[in-house]
Chains A and B, each alone.
Chain A
Amino acid sequence: MDHDEDVKLMLAFQQGDERAFDGLYRKHAPSLARYFWRLTFSTPLSEEMVQETFLKIHRYKASYQPRAGFKTYLYMVARSILLNNWKGVRNARQEDELDGDGVAADDGPLDDVLSRRETLRHVQDALAELPERQASALLLVRSEGMSYEDAARALEMSVPALKSLLNRARNQLIEKVLP
């Protein structure tokens, strides 16, 4: 059992230490917001889902059991929030209520900015077309730096199945981003 620092904080929170909860929030909310944003491309939606995730963790603290690292638990809760809101996410995409692409106008020469914008738009499209599980697998391992074992636990699958999923996601990503 991995009693990492975050697990200790979570256990302290379970015993009533609200500051431990605040510490967990400050540490993990920004990366969780990035994960949600990469799946929704909507800042309001992603920030709301961050709040929902931590609200749920706060509400059900009594049920927490340190079976795995805290980050694994966090992303399991996060995915449940995401899947509960999946219809809203898809509607937001269809209605094009999405943010910009994260490339600021002063990020370099105009040609570079436009080229980066085009590439990133392709990445957005590719992620949007991936099944949620494939996209989550890619983001948890590649973007959030989770180990295969932790990501597999968060996605409730075996490590070989996760690796196979990642490879399919990689294939789709390069087909879309670099046609």
Chain B
Amino acid sequence: MNCSRFRELLFEYVHGTLPPTERTAMEQHSARCPDCMGQEVRTRQALQALDNLTPPRPFDPDAGLASLRSRIAAEPDRIPWWDRLRPLLWPAVATAAAAAVAVTLLYEPVQTPSPRPDAGVARSSDAEAGKKAAPADDGLDNLVDLVEELPLFEEFELFSQHETLAELAAADDATLDQLLAEVGG
């Protein structure tokens, strides 16, 4: 034990949390080093003074609790975050539903058991021309691309992730409002 190490451990020593081996080493060093012993005495006095620092009057938990209960009762009902997000998520749900209908329509020729008409015949009507212009597989890919490009859908995906939900549940008002503003924007 040297003086530098002694001072490093002085708080723990005076606070009484050093393991026995180190405590003994501290005692031995203090006994033979007047400077470090002086530091030890001053530390004990300072921490004792800190211990003596108490509020002028003790806190009354009964009065405090009554006051707190009034404040809690006056708090506005907090709407859960999922209820606050619901109006913003409806457009995403509607988009997804519309997309599902579109997928069904695009897939209809593939699903029908009748042979696929050739291109010349298909172009005989505008509606069929639209279907043929986007083959089923490409149509699905395009649709996925389209939906994934929607900012709201991206946010919906973001909120669907478990970690994000946990963060949202823990978020304070300011953070939640900021997130909502971003989603809304």
Shortest distance between the CB of A59 and any CB in chain B (Å): 7
> A158 interface residue, CB < 8 Å from B?
no
- Are B45 and A29 in touch, CB under 8 angstroms? no
Q: Using known A-B contacts A60-B172, A123-B50, determine if residue A25 contacts B10 with beta carbons closer than 8 Å.
A: no
Closest to A171 in B: B7
> B61 interface residue, CB < 8 Å from A?
yes
Of the candidates A47, A60, A142, the one whose C-beta lies within 8 Å of that of B64 is A47
> B79 interface residue, CB < 8 Å from A?
no
> B53 interface residue, CB < 8 Å from A?
yes
A63 CA / B78 CA spacing, docked (Å): 14
- Are A43 and B75 in touch, CB under 8 angstroms? no
A99 CA / B68 CA spacing, docked (Å): 23
Which residues of A have CB within 8 Å of B39? 174
Encode B8-21 as 1/0 by CB contact (under 8 A) with A: 10111001010000
Which residues of B have CB within 8 Å of A30? 58-59, 61
Closest to A141 in B: B15
Of the candidates A29, A60, A123, the one whose C-beta lies within 8 Å of that of B53 is A123
- Are A34 and B65 in touch, CB under 8 angstroms? no
> B126 interface residue, CB < 8 Å from A?
no
- Are A100 and B56 in touch, CB under 8 angstroms? yes
Which residues of A have CB within 8 Å of B110? none
Shortest distance between the CB of A51 and any CB in chain B (Å): 5
> A153 interface residue, CB < 8 Å from B?
no
- Are A62 and B169 in touch, CB under 8 angstroms? yes
How extensive is the interface on chain B, given as a class? 35 or more
Residue total for A at the interface (Cβ-Cβ under 8 A):
47
- Are B71 and A51 in touch, CB under 8 angstroms? yes
A123 CA / B52 CA spacing, docked (Å): 10
Interface of A, secondary structure class, is helix
Which residues of A have CB within 8 Å of B47? 142, 170, 173
Of the candidates B8, B42, B43, B170, the one whose C-beta lies within 8 Å of that of A63 is B170
- Are B57 and A43 in touch, CB under 8 angstroms? yes
A122 CA / B42 CA spacing, docked (Å): 14
CB-CB contacts below 8 Å: B57-75 with A: 57-59, 61-62, 64-65, 67-68, 71-72, 75
- Are A120 and B52 in touch, CB under 8 angstroms? yes
Of the candidates B43, B55, B64, the one whose C-beta lies within 8 Å of that of A25 is B64
> A70 interface residue, CB < 8 Å from B?
no
- Are B46 and A178 in touch, CB under 8 angstroms? yes
CB-CB contacts below 8 Å: A42-98 with B: 43, 46-47, 50-51, 54-55, 58-60, 62-63
Please provide the 4 A-B residue pairs with the shortest distance between their CB atoms, ordered closest to farther. A63-B170, A33-B59, A37-B55, A174-B46
Residues of A within 8 A of B (CB): 22, 25-26, 29-30, 33-34, 37-38, 43, 46-47, 50-51, 54-55, 58-60, 62-63, 99-102, 104, 116, 119-120, 122-124, 127, 138, 141-143, 148, 163, 166-167, 169-170, 173-174, 177-178
